[in-house]
Structure 1
């Protein structure tokens, strides 16, 4: 989404209102949404299917927004999505365990025979699709792990924000390479990880940084069904099954080998397609709860940073594509964090007049059955419609500058990653 000046170009053929070209290559109408479908996300590549699925997703998103805007927002422990996901995970775990046990039994049932070979194959399949809970090594390429001794002011700020939102402290704090931030939990012990992209951190205003930390830390306590270990087991196990059985079996020489390969491919595609369909069903089931958790994370972040700062963060996300272009330009020029921040301030000021249109546009471009986040424009509107909150944690310009000094030592490495 590339923002441009909102200039009336012609009358809308549907409602006769003024059309604009903000954010899209062709004119569209903010009054009746004429021609806004040019921004419909592509899911399957069939236009009529994508449009139909987008309309379904839009209805679900709008209905959820309307239900939450005036009601209470609090973590929920029992929902249909959570129960469905937990049952699916339990069934998958039992299935993988059953395959492994059957494989071991066949190996020793009549050693050494055809059953031994079949048993070894089943054990191998169980090993390949075994549940995984992630490892710290999986995050090695996503950022730089910080220690409290190297960034004491940042760690102190994280602790203040965690206290304000009622969340546990992350056990690992990372500085990432991109315009993003995330939290996750890995391993059997569920080690809590917070990763904040340096380009994102450096280009936010001080109080918006508090909002960012508040939002991310809230994910440790906001009841997001997709962050539970069993949810990860269900989705990743089905994905591995689909990948494992989706590969084509090479065709050998001779009629028997050819027929065997054809039958094996057909069976593999059936298993792969079924696993993929079940995975999509689980994803679609859990996404409504996940989006609700995002709204709740914004609400909790407002306790720490104040509503105004969280709205500012949401509007930053509305314009993130344009800001990303600005940052890449500064990176190509070899400029660092202070230049990123200055250029972003100018870009945001230039885009301010178009924010209402850009917010509206996100309700088309960011709505999907696969979207784990509500549109950024709706997130800002949700905060504005709910009672405002004062900041419990304040970050001054001076304090923010001291934290930047702590992080500046990693600037060159981040620059290299961005340039690459």
Structure 2
């Protein structure tokens, strides 16, 4: 298995990120020193408070799990078979599993960290999970966990938070629209630091972009090893129809709201939502996927700016020397057990979709 290289770009990116965090620390130290030494002097205390407030706004974020019922959060005790499958996939790609799984509606999936101890969380969008076959689900897990195994720099707390801090600088220093005379002066005064922050943001983004896109290819290799090359390629096809998934969820929500205000109508819409979504996407013919693949190649479709074009990722899988068989093969009993573990979360998220997607 190929591994990411710690090349010059990576070293420069980490150096730049550490400098960004050093500026935030310097602001905090300077603000505290000014408050302490200038205690009782209003202007000094105000300046110190501004510096401390700025440092607080730019502080590193360590992430957190959803609170107040925003989304279902599963831990090992809640879904032992799901976590066992995740652990099995993680072992194949050469990493460890996750500490929590957040269930959402969006047709997407991602891994991230939360808390000071940087525990791992998998955010699993049912809009994607429910339209995949068991093998494709394994490939999806292999891809996401592959980011940890391959050392994706943007998933690291240092660079991720540096990008956030620089984006915050650009936001705070953005010029006022329709400014008054004093605001025009402030816009002019902030032009140099604003463009400096923007330049550093672009530089850090470009320094990490190559490594991040390479990490996506390595994650695709992990998907092929765990779920099979065929399942990984089919997963790419599903990524081409995420817009159709989102449209269908909105249509289901609108239909439930327009059928009347009876609670039974809403209950019926929620009860069969994911099955209807799976049937709808399952009815998409192969010729439509072929059309979407051709269109994606022409338009350069990508999941987002950090991902390589989808058609290049799929071609790379297709051109592999030998197609790989699935290393992880969940049994029917495992699949049924995971479905049972997700039943309550599926119902809660379906309720949220019917209630909110139409708005």
For normalisation by structure 2, the TM-score amounts to: 0.84
| 2:53 aligns with one of 98, 103, 124 | 124
Q: Which residue of 1 aligns with 2:266?
A: none
Q: Which is further off, 94-103 or 284-293? A: 94-103
Matched, 1:94 2:22: yes
In the TM superposition, what whole-angstrom CA distance separates every residue of 1:351-390 from its partner, at most 9, and x where no partner exists? x124344223223444589711122222211111013111
CA contact (8 A) 1:283 1:370 kept: no
CA contact (8 A) 1:175 1:197 kept: yes
Cα 1:343–1:274 shift into 2, 3 Å: same
Alignment of 1:229-248 (within 5 A): 229-246=157-174, 248=176
Residue 109 of structure 1, CA deviation: 3.8
CA contact (8 A) 2:73 2:102 kept: yes
Alignment of 1:380-391 (within 5 A): 380-386=314-320, 387-391=322-326
Q: 1 CA distance for matches of 2:68 and 2:232?
A: 27
Q: Which is further off, 164-173 or 337-346? A: 337-346
CA RMSD between the two structures? 2.8
In the TM superposition, what whole-angstrom CA distance separates every residue of 1:90-110 from its partner, at most 9, and x where no partner exists? 111221222222233333445
Q: 1 CA distance for matches of 2:310 and 2:188?
A: 43
Aligned residue pairs, count: 338
Residue 416 of structure 1, CA deviation: 2.7
In the TM superposition, what whole-angstrom CA distance separates every residue of 1:290-348 from its partner, at most 9, and x where no partner exists? 1111110110121111111111111111233234434544554623222222222112x
Cα 1:160–1:211 shift into 2, 3 Å: same
CA contact (8 A) 2:105 2:127 kept: yes
Q: Which is further off, 217-226 or 99-108? A: 99-108
Cα 1:108–1:249 shift into 2, 3 Å: farther
| 2:209 aligns with one of 279, 287, 295 | 287
Q: 1 CA distance for matches of 2:67 and 2:57?
A: 17
Q: Which residue of 1 aligns with 2:280?
A: 343
Cα 1:375–1:105 shift into 2, 3 Å: same
Cα 1:249–1:267 shift into 2, 3 Å: farther
Q: 1 CA distance for matches of 2:308 and 2:68?
A: 25
Q: 1 CA distance for matches of 2:348 and 2:276?
A: 16
Cα 1:138–1:297 shift into 2, 3 Å: farther
> SS state of the match for residue 289, structure 2?
helix
In the TM superposition, what whole-angstrom CA distance separates every residue of 1:252-293 from its partner, at most 9, and x where no partner exists? 9xxxxx54x433232234423331232122223212211111
Q: 2 CA distance for matches of 1:251 and 1:324?
A: 40
> SS state of the match for residue 112, structure 2?
strand
Q: 1 CA distance for matches of 2:77 and 2:203?
A: 45
Q: Which residue of 1 aligns with 2:138?
A: 210
Residue 205 of structure 1, CA deviation: 0.9
Cα 1:138–1:376 shift into 2, 3 Å: farther
Cα 1:201–1:251 shift into 2, 3 Å: closer
Residue 227 of structure 1, CA deviation: 0.8
Residue 229 of structure 1, CA deviation: 1.1
Q: Which residue of 2 aligns with 1:180?
A: 108
Alignment of 1:267-416 (within 5 A): 267-330=189-252, 332=255, 334=269, 335-347=272-284, 350=285, 352-366=286-300, 371-386=305-320, 387-397=322-332, 399-416=334-351
In the TM superposition, what whole-angstrom CA distance separates every residue of 1:182-241 from its partner, at most 9, and x where no partner exists? 100123211101111122111101111111111111111112111111101210111111
Q: 2 CA distance for matches of 1:403 and 1:124?
A: 46
Q: 2 CA distance for matches of 1:407 and 1:370?
A: 28
> SS state of the match for residue 220, structure 1?
helix
CA contact (8 A) 1:100 1:122 kept: yes
CA contact (8 A) 1:327 1:344 kept: no
For normalisation by structure 1, the TM-score amounts to: 0.73
> SS state of the match for residue 136, structure 1?
coil
Q: 2 CA distance for matches of 1:180 and 1:152?
A: 22
